[in-house]
Structure 1
Amino acid sequence: MRHHIVLSKPFDLEQFSEGARQGINPRHVLADLSQKLDATIHKTGNHPITFLDRVFAKFFGTLPEQWAMARSIVPQLSNEDIIFSNGTDVGFPLAMLCKIAGKRPKLVTHVMVPENRRVRLLLKLFALDTHIDVFHVYNQSQGDFLQSFLNLSSDRISVLTFHTDTDFFSPGAPSPSKSRPIIASAGLEQRDYVTLAEATHDLDVDVKICAASCAAKAAGSGGFPKVIPANMEARYYDFAELRQLYRDADIVVVPVVDHTYSAGTTVVLEAMACCKPVILTSTPGRNTALRDEGVVRGVPVGDAASLRAAIMSLLNNPQEAAALAQRGHEKVLRENATEKHLQSLISLLTAMETESSGDRAVTAEA
């Protein structure tokens, strides 16, 4: 029996671990997981790509190099091996190629958006669930959808514990050069910086965003407005700079468009770990749950007036902002530290060591 971790992208986990030891970046849970389980890391890169890799990739909406990697892994596998893949772009190729090869290792794959039309089509068309033991999802509503859609038993759903490295992202002093209030944000996925710009363009604040440069975006794309306000800046921040941005911020705003999963949660947790008040767009699932818990201030999707009012309320009421920040900070330390997520993954994967190949799938079919 061997453990395998299959990465969607050629990510250097060893370098990340070394950076964490030096305090340059936060821990990466998959790097820690690989060490705890003595797992083999697989990533794309040096695998020759065939014509069939390209054909499969086009049909599945993935990359040829991901199929080439999966094709190189399958001959190494036994039915006792346990695989964790961090996305369907590698999990689905592994399931498909194992099915073709008549192999049945134990496979856990993360599914970002199970409601996606292509994901649903591939799962049904190729019956991939017969070769995936556990579906790892962002929230319980996604798990409920997969259970109903594929007629799965509950033990084949694992809900992701969102996490952050609370040793790296932690409270600290603001920069001495700070001259006026800072509204910070970060990320590109499902973001709505148009609404943030509309809410803040004439306020006496600096809006600083950790993302690719606004100027590098096509007009109106990537969630940015066509005209960038004078008080808004977006650029690349390394991890140490991002931590300092959070520490400098008076408020961290995570504006997102309407979507069904939990984009922005990582930024929310990093900001709360630094004990900063967070304003978050209320979308279905975890974002709304955080609002209801009272650990973030929620605003409606695309509502610049409500976002502006929330920002002004927290800026004008520092005690209220501090209390919100403290509630969020306590929640992260209690529930969302990296170690908690690491232990949940270890428990899931080590429990599978004693199971026979396909046990969970057979149980569901029975």
Structure 2
Amino acid sequence: MRYHICLSRSVDLSKFHRDAQLDQCPRHTMWDLSQELDATVHHPDAKAVTWIDRRLAKLTSEPEHWALARSLINKLTANDLVFCTGEDVGFPLAILAGFKANRPKLVVYILEPKRLRVRALLKLFRLAQSVDLFLTNTQLKADYLRQYLQLPQEKVHVVREQTDVRFFCPGPVTLEKQRPLIASAGLEQRDYKTLAEATRDLDVDVNICAVSPNASAKTRVAFPEVMPSNMTAHPQEWRQFRQLYRNSDMVVISLLYNTYSAGLTTLMEALACRRPVIITRTPGLTERLIDLGVVTGVAPGDATAMKQAILNFINNPELAEAQAQRGYELILQEHTSEAYVQDLVCQFKQLAEHRACFHSDGNTLNEPLKAAPLPTSTASLNPLNPS
């Protein structure tokens, strides 16, 4: 079996690996996965885009994702297994695979299965027939996918959240603080307006690493109209960012209400650095960790409750330390990048060994699937062999 990894955006994994070896940044799990599987990594390339990709992108994804899917589909056979790191790159390949007889095994990670466009595409193109394994990051999302697509248990897998505990780990404080320091990070679904309101009158400093690898013009983030004098927000390089966690007395992850598990990357990093965490309660893993007492939760938009949680940690340092230790132990037990990679390797190899299973409609995996036709606006296009 030949393994492939299709990335949603172009990333220089080799440079990530070199820098990680020098402790310049965390390791990239897709580099580690590619080494474990001897997989070929494919990147979207804007230079490969043609007019047909721009037309197909009206359905979903970006033109470069369609260009990547078209460049791969005719090279892939039943002896290939392809892991797509997001629906943006996975759906174009799955749609094209529906028109192919000797199709590859497809694994697609879905972050937001309840989004209208995601749900529509899943049904319109019967993607449950061309995707062999769906991955997502919470049990709630997995249950929804199984119910919505009527999938058996084994076709949806919940992947663990992870962080690189070699990079994000406890370390010495390097800052001479005059008062408690609160750290925060990220842009996706962040509610810094509530954090500002909660801390405006407190004798604390708030330092925000305002950067997100997935941020775009559509990113939802709420900043206060006027930044309080005790709050700063700016990007930081990796080691400076790690030291922010280590220097902080606590990490506060203030979120807008969302159902796709925003804030989990920051949560994993903070716990790995053995910092106590206050986070907005949202469905999924965050809610479970709050209920377990691993982190402290507050309701969305509740600045008063957030302020009280912050004061509780400041006034009870032994409580903050005990919670930080519980979180740190949980990370080491369940959420390391090594465990994440091995979980994926196990899932992919198990899938690769079961070529004789059947789809629910009776088609074997190597038969052409009865895919729905393309919508009228693109019915004249041949996505596999454009002129």
User: What TM-score, normalized to structure 2?
Assistant: 0.89
Q: Contact (CA 8 Å) 1:47, 1:69: kept in 2 or not? A: no
Offset of 1:103 from its aligned partner?
4.0
In structure 2, the partner of 1:190 is: 189
Letter in 2 for 1:234: A
SS in structure 2 of the partner of residue 8 of structure 1: coil
In structure 1, the partner of 2:298 is: 299
Measure the CA separation in 1 of the matches of 2:284 and 2:363.
Answer: 29
From the superposition, tell whether residues 309 and 26 of structure 1 become closer, same or farther in structure 2 (CA, over 3 Å): same
Offset of 1:364 from its aligned partner?
8.9
Measure the CA separation in 2 of the matches of 1:36 and 1:18.
Answer: 17
Q: Contact (CA 8 Å) 1:156, 1:360: kept in 2 or not? A: no
Measure the CA separation in 2 of the matches of 1:174 and 1:211.
Answer: 21
SS in structure 1 of the partner of residue 58 of structure 2: helix
SS in structure 2 of the partner of residue 184 of structure 1: strand
User: What TM-score, normalized to structure 1?
Assistant: 0.94
Q: Contact (CA 8 Å) 1:269, 1:332: kept in 2 or not? A: yes
Offset of 1:85 from its aligned partner?
0.6
Higher helix content, 1 or 2: 1
In structure 1, the partner of 2:359 is: 361
In structure 1, the partner of 2:174 is: 175
Letter in 1 for 2:112: V
Q: Contact (CA 8 Å) 1:153, 1:363: kept in 2 or not? A: no
Q: Contact (CA 8 Å) 1:152, 1:364: kept in 2 or not? A: no
1:249-288 aligned within 5 A: 249-288=248-287
In structure 2, the partner of 1:317 is: 316
How many correspondences in the alignment?
A: 360
Q: Contact (CA 8 Å) 1:80, 1:356: kept in 2 or not? A: no
From the superposition, tell whether residues 46 and 115 of structure 1 become closer, same or farther in structure 2 (CA, over 3 Å): closer
Offset of 1:363 from its aligned partner?
8.1
Measure the CA separation in 2 of the matches of 1:139 and 1:208.
Answer: 29
Measure the CA separation in 1 of the matches of 2:339 and 2:42.
Answer: 24
In structure 2, the partner of 1:339 is: 338
In structure 2, the partner of 1:229 is: 228
Measure the CA separation in 2 of the matches of 1:182 and 1:353.
Answer: 49
Measure the CA separation in 2 of the matches of 1:50 and 1:26.
Answer: 35
From the superposition, tell whether residues 52 and 310 of structure 1 become closer, same or farther in structure 2 (CA, over 3 Å): same
Letter in 2 for 1:255: S
SS in structure 1 of the partner of residue 5 of structure 2: strand
SS in structure 1 of the partner of residue 57 of structure 2: helix
Measure the CA separation in 2 of the matches of 1:361 and 1:160.
Answer: 23
Offset of 1:97 from its aligned partner?
1.3
Letter in 1 for 2:206: V
Offset of 1:47 from its aligned partner?
4.8
Letter in 1 for 2:49: I
In structure 2, the partner of 1:118 is: 117
Q: Contact (CA 8 Å) 1:111, 1:137: kept in 2 or not? A: yes
Q: Contact (CA 8 Å) 2:146, 2:153: kept in 1 or not? A: yes
Measure the CA separation in 2 of the matches of 1:158 and 1:33.
Answer: 17
Letter in 2 for 1:151: Q
In structure 2, the partner of 1:140 is: 139
Letter in 2 for 1:7: L
In structure 2, the partner of 1:327 is: 326
From the superposition, tell whether residues 159 and 221 of structure 1 become closer, same or farther in structure 2 (CA, over 3 Å): closer
Offset of 1:129 from its aligned partner?
1.3
Q: Contact (CA 8 Å) 2:7, 2:84: kept in 1 or not? A: yes
From the superposition, tell whether residues 306 and 360 of structure 1 become closer, same or farther in structure 2 (CA, over 3 Å): farther
Offset of 1:52 from its aligned partner?
1.5
From the superposition, tell whether residues 131 and 206 of structure 1 become closer, same or farther in structure 2 (CA, over 3 Å): same
Measure the CA separation in 1 of the matches of 2:311 and 2:122.
Answer: 47
Offset of 1:81 from its aligned partner?
0.5
Q: Contact (CA 8 Å) 1:257, 1:302: kept in 2 or not? A: yes
1:50-129 aligned within 5 A: 50-60=50-60, 62-129=61-128
In structure 1, the partner of 2:201 is: 202
Q: Contact (CA 8 Å) 2:189, 2:220: kept in 1 or not? A: no
Q: Spell out, residue by residue over 1:163-216, the C-alpha distance to the aligned partner (whole angstroms, 9 max, x if none).
A: 111111111111234332111001111111110000001211111111149xxx
In structure 2, the partner of 1:8 is: 8
SS in structure 1 of the partner of residue 222 of structure 2: coil
Q: Contact (CA 8 Å) 1:155, 1:360: kept in 2 or not? A: no
Offset of 1:29 from its aligned partner?
1.1
In structure 2, the partner of 1:130 is: 129
Q: Contact (CA 8 Å) 1:182, 1:251: kept in 2 or not? A: yes
Q: Spell out, residue by residue over 1:220-272, the C-alpha distance to the aligned partner (whole angstroms, 9 max, x if none).
A: 97221111111111111111111100001101001111111211111111111
Measure the CA separation in 2 of the matches of 1:69 and 1:39.
Answer: 16
SS in structure 2 of the partner of residue 76 of structure 1: coil
Q: Contact (CA 8 Å) 2:271, 2:328: kept in 1 or not? A: yes
Measure the CA separation in 2 of the matches of 1:94 and 1:63.
Answer: 12
Q: Contact (CA 8 Å) 1:133, 1:360: kept in 2 or not? A: no
Once superposed, what is the RMSD of the aligned Cα atoms? Answer: 2.0
Measure the CA separation in 2 of the matches of 1:300 and 1:114.
Answer: 24
Structure 1 gaps, min length 5: none
